Amino acid sequence: MHQILSFVLDGKIQNITFSEHFSPTTTVLNYLRSGNEHRGVKEGCAEGDCGACTVVIAELDVNNKLSYQAWDSCLVFLPMIHGKQLITIENLKQVKDGQSILHPVQETMVSCNGSQCGYCTPGIVMSLFSLYKSEDKPSTLRIEDVLTGNLCRCTGYKPILEAAAKACVHGGKDQFNNEEAEIISMLLEIRKNTESLSVENKTQKYHQPLSKAEALKLRKQKPGAVLISGATDIALRVTKKHEHLSDVIDLSHVQEFKKSGGDVNTIYLGAGLSLEAVKTLVKQTLPALYETLVVFGSKQIRSLATLGGNLGSASPIGDTLPTLMAYDASVILESEEGVREINMNRFVLGYRKTELRSDELITGVHIPKHEPDKIVKFYKVSKRKDLDISTVSACFSLKLQGSTVKEIRMAYGGMAAVTKRVETAENFLTGKTWSREMVEQAMDLIGKEFTPISDARSGAAFRSMAAKNLLLKFWSETK
Amino acid sequence: MNKSIPHDSAIKHVSGESVYIDDMQTDSRLLFGRAVYSSMAHAKILSIDIAKAKALPGVHAVLLAADIPGANQMGPVVHDEPCLAEKEVICVGQAIVLIAAETPEIAYEAEKLIKIEYEALDSILDIRTAIEKDSFLAPPRQMKRGDAETELKKAKHLLKGEVETGAQEHWYLETQSCLCIPGEENEITAYSSTQHPSETQAIIAEVLGLPKNEIVVEVRRMGGAFGGKETQANWIAAWTALLCQATKRPVKIRLFRDDDQIMTGKRHPYLIRFEAGFDEEGKISAVKFEQFADGGCVTDLSMAILERAMLHADSSYYIPHMLVIGRACKTNLPSNTAFRGFGGPQGMAGMETILDRIARFLKKDSAEVRRINFYGMGENNITHYGQEVELNRLPLMYEQIIQSSDYFKRRKQVDEFNSKNEFYKKGLALTPVKFGISFTTSFLNQAGALVNIYKDGSVLVNHGGTEMGQGLNTKILQIAAAELGVSTQFLKVNATNTSKVPNTSATAASAGTDLNGMAVKNAIDILKTRIAGVIAEEFSKKHPNDKSLANDIQFANDMITDTKHPDRNIAFAEAMPLVHLNQVSLSAAGFYRTPDIGWDKATGWGKPFNYFAFGMCVSEVLVDTLTGFHKNLRTDILHDVGDSINPGLDIGQVEGGYIQGVGWCTTEEVKWNDKGHLLNHSPDTYKIPSVQDIPADFRTALLQSAPNPNAIRKSKAVAEPPLMLAFATWLAIKDAVSAVGNHETEPEFRLPATNEVILTSIEHLRNEIR
């Protein structure tokens, strides 16, 4: 075990010892802004909704090559960037012989009038930089996807879209290519230390296990510790509620949790996979899960948030939960005592309560492979289509025999204290003709099943209407 | 001139080098300020216990109202706004205690140790309750022309109804911020994110009980403002200054996002009741409006906002008989305030609703009904407050946009689509904008500048306006360069500073360039006259028999030239030391006041505006009738900025303004619970448009060859007017909803048209059909 956090910034390995200045739950944003050298990164909301704090993280992939991802630095605790390269807005402009040379994404942001007040601009430039490094000549859809997590209140976005399209045409080549070999050797140097990071001081304990065995051991020893992986939810307790987290187990560095695979009948997804990774993995195989993730948060959030975290937080809205319920998935729970698998329908017990025991970790999910004769679709209703939490969400799976319903699953989020299937309506429709008349009768049963709440997102009546209509929508698209 | 040069800070923006207040370098003595605010909408304060907070290590000051050395008062117009609540709180979010501590964390800790006891009082949280309880900020205002009441009775058709518009949170990316640095004795320099440095200076001075010459306010730039930093910035600046004076250390307050949303005012929600009389063709003869604004707990700018709403109740239409009654309700919400459009959007929403409803009632195309009601050219061109609509661009713009947007063909396609689809409906609408440019409080239409030329030929331009992203400093740079005949690299526009240009008006009312550009021009004219005199004499030394005349001296292309004798010339930079050697000042103050405007608030009659800016928009949407979602399929904008000083910046203002308006009209919903607590206090639940919400096909054009004789370099103000282009999208959504009932029934509708509003309206139409 060691106490020193190491990462690359400004072309150098930075070593941080936690002291009165920085604690393990200091965010990367606050760390950067605490000095005078990196104040280009901005705080707009401290909750991952605006992207003004976007930085780019370069990390080694399985082939020891660098991959570049945009993160919301306001949601990232410092230890999470251990062994990675942190790139900030200050690193993009070069100065050669007294002349400033802008990065291509900066150059086009200037020429297209992509900035007005300039406060969101560093974050936008960093998102565009991550796109520049990962995709050449991206489609408008891709550009929009990358920019969804960056709010701009001035421009109306059009010039920024233009700037992105104009910039990303050089095959990702820039000054960072010249430094890559050196950066990689620095990251490998950090990695030589195979001990895990562990900080214990008077007020705080923070452990970052590197293996599953170590993680399970810690979990048993510290049943009360807060578990994080992407921390996109837990970080809000620090950044918004100013809570002090006294004991944290950070699972973000356990590579065993980031695996995927499966067998003839099932797909396996590791709990530590980021939702962006899951999205890429399941695009062909589990289209409804893919659609769920397309409208989940933003690129920056999905690159941090993990599948296990989303399941473990068991929010009533759930996002992936209704979809996994419709897919009849099961959750893999592991402890030092052994492994057990719980069907999704039995995993959530109550409001933010799950089957997970205090010595267990969610290590993955098993999802039955998509059957060709089964239709599965996900729907989300939110005030804004993207980067918004669902007001109501639903996932339906349907198997027809001719025009008769052989099997149907209807799982809803946002309608009760837990994500929930509507078994009354499922039972009613099973064996019936898949017709508008039957569907409309089933809609009444959905209405009877739920008594939703009114809150900041919408009124209860709207939730009920939308929940019923989603079944009609599903019917209209599958009839 | 008249070309698209990038924003003067663009390179700094994209490199993260532009400095906002929170980025400024300070010494280690910096303290972090925090305001502890009311959790009650209306209550008596029984006790405040700050002892434990004061004793916390790292806390350097805990201040209450009693600790304010000057006046506990900071209303910009009416003195009804205490800086800190003393005996009573009148809204959730009202500041009560100030803390200065060594870190933000210690300040939070200290806040937790403060105990405030309240005794709850009855509260009023919405317009209808305020009307019922007769709770108003001021007596009613009225504007009238003709006899609307009588003419309404005579009209062939009469329409009665009401429309509600919601609040809007500014959501500037940079939250309210101020940094105060103590100087000698009583001096304080305040770096404030304010649109109104002179008023911020005045309020700091009054709260501290000091003369204004002790206080300097400086603004380099703001990270967005949109009206939200016209008066609201004063709070943060006053609190910071109080803590700075109490501790004699640098103090900074940057509001946390949620606190900013909870504490500061928003766009005024409105309830507008209307009656309109019209004939078979849809021509309107008379309209009566009653406008009710939710002013919040104190006056702030509510009366001026109400006035502008009333002045824009006509939208773009000639209404022979018109009566507008306006009332500002007093409620227990944070005082609502300026927001891009300043009441104009709310006033216009009422009239555009009338036009939309008339068209549906008569089963006519709504663009056509709008056209026949537009202000005329040479006739039917006097507004309901007596101002002539000069240089009316409406008919020309209508003709152009109908053609460029292919309106009538698409109208048919939309109807056809709707007849074939049950679950998806399309909608299309055209709406105009006519927006009056000038502060309606006429004396505010003044500006100052200070232009310094240094001996090396470099020029420092100071003016009273503030840069909030709109590109004011870039336009000023262009204006100064053109007037001085030098290239822009000679020039720098300075941070706005109250010790350079005093007694300025807010950068507001879209008038930043109009007013400050003219003041800069005035300063440069003075300098040019002085320089020309010296240079003519210098030229004449070599030609005693054929002297150069000052009147013939021209400033162009970085040269100073005698136009009668072009061989007599000197480079601008070389000329400046000569002027200095001749003991002539190279520094000049400029001033401008808008001429020929005058407006009698009491009678509601006169010429409040220097001129009008026009715009027009055609928008097409697709509505999912099962979820209430809509998609902005295509939007065409034609906007009038006169001869554009910088088309790139102007288009940015037009597109950005439109999208901000779309946010107000669609997803930006502000709700309070029955205790007066704001429910949407972070971007988690308050949804401004994202990149995915802009039109799939987004076409923006500036009206060509339409110079404006009334403003600097024949340009027109931009800023506010484009926000109201968004009504086309709002009413296109309504058109799609209406298609569910085959346009037979007037749908329920409000602003914002959230998917909840849309779906609820559709369900009611469906139930009616069943």
The torsion region of residue A432 among left (phi > 0), alpha (psi -120 to 50) and beta comes to beta
The 3-class secondary structure across B377-397, one letter per residue, is CCCCCECCCCCECCCCCHHHH
What is the percent of chain B where pLDDT is above 90?
99
Residue A182 CB: number of other CB atoms within 10 A?
11
Scanning A267-343, the segments in alpha helix (DSSP H) are 275-282, 287-294, 299-304, 307-313, 320-326
Measured in angstroms, the CA of B254 and the nearest CA of chain A are apart by 10
Residue A150 CB: number of other CB atoms within 10 A?
29
Q: What is the mean pLDDT of residues B433-443?
A: 96
Instruction: Tell which A residues from 355 to 384 touch B, by Cβ distance under 8 Å.
Output: 379, 381, 383-384
Q: Give residue for tokens 């972070």.
A: B682
Of B12, B655, B679, the CB nearest to A158: B655
Phi, psi of B15, rounded to the nearest 5 degrees:
-100, 0
| Pairing state between β A348-350 and A260-262 | unpaired
Phi, psi of B194, rounded to the nearest 5 degrees:
-130, 145
| Below-50 pLDDT ranges, chain A | none
Q: What is the pLDDT of residues B561-573, one digit of tens each?
A: 999 999 999 999 9
Of A110, A111, A158, the CB nearest to B698: A158
Provide CB contacts within 8 A for B181, sequence distance 6+. Answer: B26, B188, B189, B191, B244, B250
| Binary contact (A116, B656; C-beta < 8 A) | yes
Searching chain A, which residue's CA lies closest to the CA of residue B22? A39
Interface test with A, best of B21, B34, B173, B665 (most A CBs within 10 A): B173
Looking at this predicted complex, what is its ipTM?
0.97
| Binary contact (B687, A161; C-beta < 8 A) | no
Q: Give residue for tokens 């001033």.
A: B591
Q: What is the pLDDT of residues B115-135, one digit of tens each?
A: 999 999 999 999 999 999 999
Searching chain B, which residue's CA lies closest to the CA of residue A472? B626
pLDDT at A169: 97
| Spatial contact of A456 and B685, defined as CB atoms under 8 Å apart | yes
**The one catalytic residue among B151, B206, B275, B720:** B720
pLDDT at B387: 98
| Binary contact (A381, B20; C-beta < 8 A) | no
| Binary contact (B20, A42; C-beta < 8 A) | yes
| Binary contact (B649, A113; C-beta < 8 A) | yes
| Binary contact (B16, A39; C-beta < 8 A) | yes
The 3-class secondary structure across B577-588, one letter per residue, is HHHHHCCCCCEE
Largest Cα–Cα distance in chain A?
78
- Judge if the upstream peptide bond of residue B752 is cis by omega within 30 degrees of 0: yes
User: Measured between beta carbons, which residues in chain A are less than 8 angstroms from residue B651?
Assistant: 113
User: Measured between beta carbons, which residues in chain B are less than 8 angstroms from residue A240?
Assistant: 258, 682
Scanning B616-753, the segments in alpha helix (DSSP H) are 647-665, 727-740
| Binary contact (B16, A122; C-beta < 8 A) | yes
- Among B520, B554, B512, which Cα is nearest to B535's? B554
- Among B466, B524, B759, which Cα is nearest to B627's? B759
Element (H, E) at B44: strand B43-49
| Binary contact (A102, B680; C-beta < 8 A) | no
Residues in chain B: 770
Strands across the sheet containing A374-381 = A374-381, A392-401, A404-413, A420-421
Distance CA B302, CA A399 (A): 60
Distance CA B38, CA B120 (A): 12
Provide CB contacts within 8 A for A241, sequence distance 6+. Answer: none
Residue B207 reports pLDDT greater than 90: yes
User: Measured between beta carbons, which residues in chain B are less than 8 angstroms from residue A242?
Assistant: 105, 108
Residue A227: helix, strand or coil by DSSP? strand
| Binary contact (A473, B685; C-beta < 8 A) | no
Q: Strands, E, within A22-175: which ranges? A: 54-60, 66-72, 85-87, 94-96, 99-101
Q: Which two tokens stand for residue B26?
A: 């300070």
pLDDT at B770: 72
pLDDT at A370: 85
| Binary contact (B223, A42; C-beta < 8 A) | yes
Distance CA B541, CA B553 (A): 15
Q: Active site includes B206?
A: no
pLDDT at B703: 98
- Among A401, A409, A408, which Cα is nearest to A373's? A401
Distance CA B213, CA B215 (A): 5
Phi, psi of B5, rounded to the nearest 5 degrees:
-95, 150
Buried b (16+ CB within 10 A) or exposed e, B704-718: eebebebbbbebbbb
| Binary contact (A156, B658; C-beta < 8 A) | yes
- Among A97, A111, A93, which Cα is nearest to A174's? A93
> Could you tell me if A94 lies within 8 Å of chain B, comparing CB atoms?
no
Measured in angstroms, the CA of B653 and the nearest CA of chain A are apart by 7
Q: What is the pLDDT of residues B20-62, one digit of tens each?
A: 999 999 999 999 999 999 999 999 999 999 999 999 999 999 9
Residue B351 reports pLDDT greater than 70: yes
| Binary contact (B17, A144; C-beta < 8 A) | no
Of A44, A147, A384, the CB nearest to B173: A44
C-alpha distances (whole Å) from A48 to each of A31, A54, B187, B389, B684 are 16, 9, 40, 48, 9
**For residue B525, with 0-12 CB atoms within 10 Å meaning exposed, 13-18 middle and 19 or more buried, which class applies?**
middle
C-alpha distances (whole Å) from A81 to each of A34, A42, A63 are 17, 18, 19
Residue B683 CB: number of other CB atoms within 10 A?
23
User: Measured between beta carbons, which residues in chain A are less than 8 angstroms from residue B667?
Assistant: 383-384
Q: At what angle do helices B512-541 and B472-484 cross, to 10 degrees?
A: 20
User: Measured between beta carbons, which residues in chain A are less than 8 angstroms from residue B18?
Assistant: 118
DSSP state of A370: P
Searching chain A, which residue's CA lies closest to the CA of residue B652? A155
Searching chain B, which residue's CA lies closest to the CA of residue A379? B627
Measured in angstroms, the CA of B76 and the nearest CA of chain A are apart by 26
User: Measured between beta carbons, which residues in chain B are less than 8 angstroms from residue A387?
Assistant: 690
Residue B1 reports pLDDT greater than 60: no
Measured in angstroms, the CA of A260 and the nearest CA of chain B are apart by 31
Of B258, B470, B659, the CB nearest to A156: B659
What is the percent of chain B where pLDDT is above 70?
100
